[in-house]
Amino acid sequence: MTTAQHRVEEQLIADVLASFARTPDPRLKELMEALVKHLHVFIRETRLTEAEWTRAIEFLTAVGHITDDKRQEFILLSDVLGASMQTIAVNNEAYENATEATVFGPFFVDESPFVGIGGDIAGGAAGTPCWVEGTVRDTLGDPIPGARIEVWEADEDGFYDVQYTDSRVAGRGHLFSGEDGAFGFWGVQPTAYPIPHDGPVGALLDAVDRSPVRAAHLHFMVSAQGFRTLVTHIFVEGDPQLEIGDSVFGVKESLVKRFEEQPAGAPTPDGRALGDKPWTRSRFDIVLAPERQ
């Protein structure tokens, strides 16, 4: 690169940064300046061509076009680039023995049905019945009563309810921990499944020869007054996908849990009659970090 060319490129960055000088919000100013600096470093380091820039714009446009109130392709894109997990890492610093956070995912829906302790979030979702129990405690080991526990998951075919066209509500619900911090509910055994890969993010994964499959998991969001809201999953010990890799980088060793197979006819924790169906059970003890002061 000639000295003259270097000077032209450096001057452009300086001009763009100067355009934010009067930004009244200091944080917005900081974000925009950092974004410009890193973006221009990428363009200059890779010597991005105009054709490549056009293709990137077309890709982002396609991501926007496929996004609607039930499908968030931008979250998928953030997930597969590891940006979601990095944001979570930055915003959920390790705190003593608190449960680790992981990706939110694109399939959470507000106003899930209340199922209560011992209830069933499956709502007709296909799959092997699964009992999940545990406690919600603080980092000192004291129980947290009344913590709201949101749970959602895919069915055995790898689909969330919002991916169907019949407006079903299945595989999701919420309950509250008891006075002793305990909770328990029925769902279905988590299975590995591909993220939606019929759109631009799927095309990107194909282009770089990456699998769209997520390791089998069950989503949790746990909140209580005075504590940091926890968004996390639990993963299934022994799932082969754990060795292959999770497409959104969400797996953490502390979140891999044993799901014990139970034969048909084995007594259930709450006396539920399952007939001739086998079932599974798992335990997830949750520790919440205190709210940031």
Compute the distance between CA of residue 103 and CA of residue 72 in angstroms, rounded to an integer: 14
Q: Is the pLDDT of residue 16 over 60?
A: yes
Provide CB contacts within 8 A for 29, sequence distance 6+: 20, 23
Indicate if 136 and 225 belong to the same structural domain.
yes
Q: Quick one: pLDDT at residue 222?
A: 98
Contact assessment for residue 214 and residue 241, using Cβ atoms and an 8 Å cutoff: yes
Q: Is the pLDDT of residue 106 over 90?
A: no
Q: Which of 212-216's residues contact partners 24+ apart within 8 Å by CB, and which partners?
A: 212/247, 213/241, 213/244, 213/247, 214/241, 214/246, 214/247, 214/248, 214/250, 215/239, 215/241, 215/242, 215/246, 215/250, 215/251, 216/190, 216/191, 216/192, 216/241
d(CA 163, CA 196): 9
The percentage of residues in the chain with a pLDDT greater than 70, rounded to a whole number, is: 100
User: Is residue 258 over pLDDT 70?
Assistant: yes
pLDDT digits over 158-170, tens only?
999 988 989 899 9
pLDDT tens-digit readout, 188-227: 999 999 998 999 999 999 999 999 999 999 999 999 999 9
Range(s) of the domain holding residue 240: 77-288
59 within a domain of the structure (yes/no): no
Is residue 138 in some structural domain? yes
Task: Say if residues 288 and 224 touch (Cβ distance below 8 Å).
Answer: yes
36 and 142 co-located in one domain:
no
Which phi and psi angles does 63 have, rounded to 5°? Answer: -60, -40
Q: How confident is the model at residue 269 (pLDDT cuts 50, 70, 90)?
A: very high
Most trustworthy range by pLDDT among 90-94, 134-138, 244-248: 134-138
Owner of token pair 């509910």? 185
Q: What is the CA radius of gyration of the chain?
A: 23
Q: Model-level pTM?
A: 0.88
pLDDT of res. 105: 84
| 145 shares a domain with 39 | no
Q: Is the pLDDT of residue 96 over 90?
A: yes
Question: How large is the average pLDDT for residues 115-142?
Answer: 97
Same domain, 123 and 249: yes
Same-domain check for residues 165 and 257: yes
Phi/psi region, residue 131 (left: phi>0; alpha: psi -120 to 50; beta: rest), is: beta
C-alpha–C-alpha distance, residues 247 and 251, integer Å: 10
- 77's tokens: 């894109």
